[in-house]
Amino acid sequence: MMLRGDESIAEVLQRYPKTEKVLADHFKSMCLHCPMSTLETLEQGAEAHGIKIEDLLKDLDKVIKKGE
């Protein structure tokens, strides 16, 4: 996997803009642009929303690999 889960949500969006739809689908758009997105990691966001981090990372990695 390209991502580990310890990256902030904002960092992932900044580095990989094409991941926005995947993040919005998983987080229901709640976390993407809130002030906490700069501090909250993917793993923390997944845990807070009852999402399996493995599924989120897998879906994000698919989008990132397509963009390369």
Q: What are the pLDDT tens digits along the chain (68 aa)?
A: 589 999 999 999 999 999 999 999 988 766 677 777 888 999 998 998 899 999 999 999 999 998 75
Q: What integer pLDDT is reported at residue 30 of this predicted model? A: 65
Domain count, the chain: 1
- Residue 60 in domain: yes
Q: What integer pLDDT is reported at residue 14 of this predicted model? A: 92
Q: What integer pLDDT is reported at residue 59 of this predicted model? A: 96
Q: What is the CATH number of the domain that holds 32?
A: 1.10.3910
Indicate left, alpha or beta for 28 from its phi (over 0: left) and psi (-120 to 50: alpha). left
Q: Measured between alpha carbons, how far is 40 from 64 in angstroms, rounded to an integer?
A: 20
- Residue 41 in domain: yes
Q: What integer pLDDT is reported at residue 33 of this predicted model? A: 73
- Residue 4 in domain: no
Is 0.85 surpassed by the pTM of this model?
Answer: yes
Residue-number span of the structural domain to which 58 is assigned: 9-67
- Residue 17 in domain: yes
CA atoms within 13 A on the CB side of 36: 8
